Every structure is written in structure tokens, then in C-alpha cells.
Amino acid sequence: MSLVAVWSDGYLAHDAKWLVWAGMRLDGDEEADRAEILRAGLVQAGVELLPAEEHGRGPIEAIHEAGMIDYLEHAYEGWIDAGYTEEPGSDRVVPYAFPHPDAFGAYPSRVPKSRAAMAGVYCMDTATTIGPGTYRGARAAVDGALTAARMVRDGAPAVYAPVRPPGHHAGTSYFGGSCYLNNVAIAAHWLSGQGATSVAIVDIDAHHGNGTQQIFYERGDVHYFSIHVDPGEGWFPHWCGFAGETGAGAGEGANLNVPLSPGTGDSGYVAVLDQICAKVATLEPEFLVISLGVDSGASDPESPLQVSNDGFRDIGRRLAALSTPTVLIQEGGYDLRALGPDVMAVLDAFR
């Protein structure tokens, strides 16, 4: 097989400078260096980098509520206009209040006058702040994912997009978990619209892709398979990612979650991946979309899974062995020393 990658300088635009966790302001770790490291790894491996093409808002509106896209586009300027960068001196949009459905769900939904209150309307946590380059970065990531999908539709066997910010925690009308627009869901939906009867998403990020699950939960044309650290053991996204979530309506049986115990290493991980690959092979999808997170790596600060570099090489071999036209889109991976080698290990079998 041969592999090409899609690059945009827009992947560097979003600066996740800080976030709020447990009431504390902490440095963000979904940083622009991640994309630089991935680009360097691709260049060193001789993988051709092709430029991302602009795809406009249409494919994004097919997945996300227009109001949320508008909000993301203008959130930062609204924050400046409201004066928060001066007083209290906050240079990132971060919510402090959320419209809980039991508190306000029975009343007509209102757009709050306060921009600080508006910050909680579409965002699900306090860890996904918005700065001056956030929207441009999120749009560039979508363009990278869609360009990779277009190339695969046109016959490329495998295309990788080293995008950031990641996407799989973003749902139809909400964002969070360091994600703003769901790059993988937008690409998978676009591929499904190209005459494909089935598209399979395999999410190997250490965390459950709650956004991707929600978007496709009642659809039978896009199947979602996810291996992740067990949310029942206390891990993000906490409220979903359990084995009993199997889809609904037309999507019944098209959603498969395999939660892993903290500490799971190569053998436990690959055994589960083999089961998932067997199901994907039975499905015979026209296209495969991989949510390529490597935060399940042993040294990653964001997850307790213990996959080694050799384990990632095995994971890549198994995914490539499905011999399905494949779009690989970057999600997490936060140990800057392991990120490049672990992603290149997954990609090795596609080269």
C-alpha cells in the first residue's frame, strides 16, 4: 500500500493555552507542537504531504447545528467585546454556568444576554476554551479530514490527516473534551453520501468518542466501533462509552463499545481489536475511517492504558489487513516524545 498525508498550516492556529479542571487553571496539553511533531515524523518517513482543500460550511452543517458553528466562529470576538479580556482579565472563552435541562428545559430556550452565560450553551465542560485561532483551527482540521476522504473516494488506498484540534468528543449541538467540530464524523458522513452503503469508523483513541456515537446512534449506514478506557472506572467522557450502548432505531447493532480496564497493555488491547476487525470484515464497508488517537500509549498523561510502540505497530497491521480504502484522522496523543513514533508505528503498515 502507499500512504499520503494532508497538511494545512491551519492545524497550528488553535492555541489551547489553558483550561479549568477541578477549579484550577491548568496549562492545556492539546498544543500546536503536536501537529509540528507529526509533520516532522511524516517528512522523515518520506510520506508525501499534500495541501488541504477548502470545503466550506456545507459538510459541517450536515453534522453540527448551525447555531453552534456560528457561536464557535464569533465566540472569541464576543468575549473581547464584552470586556472579559480586560476585566477579569481572561484571554480565553470559558463557561461558568450550564443550562441543565431539569433547571430550564421546560421553559422556552433563550439566548442569554451575557457572553459569559453564552459560553455554557454549547460547551459541555470547562476544559475546552476558545481563543483567537480556535475556529480557524477547527475549520482547518475539518478541511484536512474532508480532503483525505475525497482522496480515498477517488481511489487512494489510505490517506492520513494529522489534524488538530481533535474532534470525536464533539456532538451535533455541543463541543468539549478539547474538540470543537467532529472531523471524523463529518468525513464519514460525507463518504456515506458518495454512494456507499456502509462506512465503518474504528476509534482507537484512549477515550470513548461520545460525540461520534451520538451523531450516528440512530443510523445504520455508518457503524461506530470504539475501544477505550472504561468510563465506569472514572475516565472521561464519564457518562457514556459503556458496552450496553448498541445503537437505536435504524442504528440498532451499529454501535459497539469495548471498555478496557485501566492498565490494559498490548495483548489485551490487540485481542479486542481482533474481535472488532472480524466484525468490520463481515460488514464489508466501502470505506474505513480511523479515529487515530495514541493516548492509549503507556507514557501518555491522559490515560492509564499501557500500549507500547510495538503494540501500535500491531494495531496498524491489523487495520491495514482489512484492505479497505482507509481515512486516518488524528485524535489524541499528549506525550510529545511518544506521539510521533507511536503514530508512525500505526501508519507503518499503510505505507
Output 125 or 205, the one with its CB closest to Zn ion: 205
Instruction: Tell me how far, at minimum, the Cβ of 36 lies from Zn ion, in Å.
Output: 19
Output 205 or 221, the one with its CB closest to Zn ion: 205
Comparing CA positions, the residue from 240, 242, 125 lying closest to residue 177 is 125
C-alpha cell at 79: 468575549
Comparing CA positions, the residue from 291, 161, 134 lying closest to residue 226 is 291
Contacts with Zn ion by CB under 5 A lie at 205-207, 293, 295, 332
Angle between helices 134-153 and 183-192 (to 10 degrees): 30
Output 59 or 332, the one with its CB closest to Zn ion: 332
Output 11 or 71, the one with its CB closest to Zn ion: 11
Catalytic residue among 169, 189, 208, 228: 169
Helix residue spans in the chain (DSSP H): 33-44, 58-61, 66-81, 101-104, 115-118, 134-153, 183-192, 210-216, 266-283, 309-320, 336-347
Output 145 or 206, the one with its CB closest to Zn ion: 206
Output 10 or 237, the one with its CB closest to Zn ion: 237
The residues near 347 (Cβ < 8 Å, ≥ 6 apart) are 3, 45, 47, 160, 316, 328
Query: What residue number has its CB nearest to Zn ion?
Result: 332
Residue pair 297/342 in contact by the 8 Å Cβ criterion: yes
Measured CA to CA, the distance from residue 248 to residue 219 in angstroms comes to 8
Instruction: Tell me how far, at minimum, the Cβ of 309 lies from Zn ion, in Å.
Output: 18
CB burial of 166-185 (b: ≥16 within 10 Å; e: otherwise) equals: bbbbbbeebbbbbbbbbbbb
55 labelled catalytic:
no
The residues near 73 (Cβ < 8 Å, ≥ 6 apart) are 135
Q: What is the DSSP pairing of strand 255-260 with strand 222-229?
A: parallel
Amino acid in position 208: H
User: Annotated catalytic sites, by residue?
Assistant: 169
